[in-house]
Amino acid sequence: MSETATLVLGVVVVAAAIVLVARQYDVRLILVLAALALGGLAGDVTPIVRTFLQTLSNEQFVLPICTAMGFAQVLRHSGCDQHLIHLLVRPIRTVRPLLIPGAVVIGFVVNASVISQASTAVAVGTVLVPLLRSARLTATTIGAALLLGASLGGELVNPGAPELNTIARATHSDPTVVVPHVVPLLLVQLVVATAIFWLISARAERTASDEERIEETSHESEFRINPFKAAVPVVPLALLMIIGPPFELLTIPRRWLVVEGQGGAFGTRLIGASMLFGTALAALASPRKAPDSARVFFEGAGLALTRIVSVIVSAQCFGKGIEQLHLDDPIRDLILVRPDLVWALSAGVTLAFAALCGSGMAATQSLYGFYINSEMSLDLMLRVGAVTSIAAAAGRTMTPVAAVVLTSAELTDSKPLAIARRVVVPLLIATVVTVLVAWYRGG
């Protein structure tokens, strides 16, 4: 088979994979099958098999992500997440104009501890949905606010987030080093998207009919907040910031976590240890539920392996298949010739792919490596990683096939397409602004 025919067939395989994923076939199955097909066209499927096995057993992915999800499940089991949510809700409860932006910010903050977007929507929705209904907001506005907060990118503050681990692995750095490069741009995304969403939703509420509003009484005042439980969800993040960037106030001996000569990344294990410490605190915060905490933690870790690590493994295989056929060469060559285009490409291509497949993780994992090269400084590669992960989150949030969209719609009795459409314009404008800021700061 000629090289041209092979490339054409490779493009057909990639296009078919995108179409099948967009039709809601299992993204993991499709990406692995497409990877094997691409490897077959290249004449060697063994790199795909090796990539699958290496990624599945890669400590840099498995350890921080599984411990972070285990911690999140114990937070839910102990009720600590609900105490944090109620604490965050109190300031906005009596100020009606702040309900919409406040709901978004609360979801964003909680998502920093609960790195799963769908789980964040469930945790936050139990408190926010009755509150927003009591304010007589429409189902579409409530669902869109819940969606935007849970999926805008709050998890990117957490070093355990899979996107950050992808960037860290590609740049041979630690997730704790990646976070300070992501946060400034993420805050731009949050502020711009929330402000525009607020304006659009306020206008929609003014023109909504009474039939579109579902009034419900909120019972938030009956909930007694335990300050200790409310603080537990943020303890691991606080520890990581105190030990590592940006504060670096404490030093942990490497020998505590890594035995010299036996391998293992100190930064990755530090994240895992911080999550374990937070898990212990969550168990202590609810003594009656403490006996089941270990079981719940490992169930959460297994959930991470099923829902998150599996997608990373599949996406990594897909990316390897694309590399084998050199289908990524046009993007790489264009960036080498016009380095300034890296910002538009890393944002635009990633956002579009995430919107099609409904997964920010798959988009970041599959595409980030195409945007960086040896000519770039580490700082530039990390900024490109920040743009890529933020754009991936935006693409995931604006598609009705994403799990978080379906969850938010179910919790609020709204339509997935309606709430996805409500957040499209805010996310597109915010992403453009974020890219411009990244280009100005790093171009």
DSSP letter string, 210-276: GGGB------GGGPPP-HHHHHGGGHHHHHHHHHSTTT------GGGT--TTS---HHHHHHHHHHH
Cα torsion angle, 230, 234, 236, 240, sign: negative
Please tell me the distance from the alpha carbon of residue 92 to that of residue 106, in angstroms, as a whole number: 10
Most confident among 17-21, 72-76, 422-426 (mean pLDDT): 422-426
Contact 195, 101 (CB under 8 A): yes
pLDDT at res. 215: 58
pLDDT at res. 293: 96
How many domains does the chain fold into?
1
Mean pLDDT value across the chain? 90
Contact 31, 52 (CB under 8 A): no
Q: Report the predicted TM-score, pTM, of the whole model to 2 decimal places.
A: 0.88
pLDDT at 218 over 60: no
Residue 262 pLDDT grade (very low, low, confident, very high; cuts 50, 70, 90): low
387-404 mean pLDDT:
93
Among the ranges given (1-10, 262-271, 358-367), the one the predictor scored with the smallest mean pLDDT: 262-271
Please tell me the distance from the alpha carbon of residue 167 to that of residue 60, in angstroms, as a whole number: 11
- DSSP structure string for 261-326: TS---HHHHHHHHHHHHHHHHHHHHSGGGGGGHHHHHHHHHHHHIIIIIHHHHHHHHHHHHHHHTT
Q: How many residues does the chain have?
A: 443
Residue 358 pLDDT grade (very low, low, confident, very high; cuts 50, 70, 90): confident
pLDDT at 442 over 80: no
Tokens of 174: 């630690």
pLDDT at res. 34: 95
5-10 mean pLDDT:
90
Residue 320: exposed, middle, or buried by beta-carbon count in 10 A (0-12, 13-18, 19+)?
buried
pLDDT at res. 289: 94
Q: Could you read off the pLDDT of 238-250 as tens digits, one per residue?
A: 998 898 777 778 8
21-48 mean pLDDT:
91
Residue 221 pLDDT grade (very low, low, confident, very high; cuts 50, 70, 90): low
Please tell me the distance from the alpha carbon of residue 361 to that of residue 164, in angstroms, as a whole number: 10
pLDDT at 210 over 70: no
Question: Domain residues for 111?
Answer: 3-442
Q: Could you read off the pLDDT of 129-175 as tens digits, one per residue?
A: 999 988 889 999 999 999 999 999 999 999 989 899 899 989 988 88
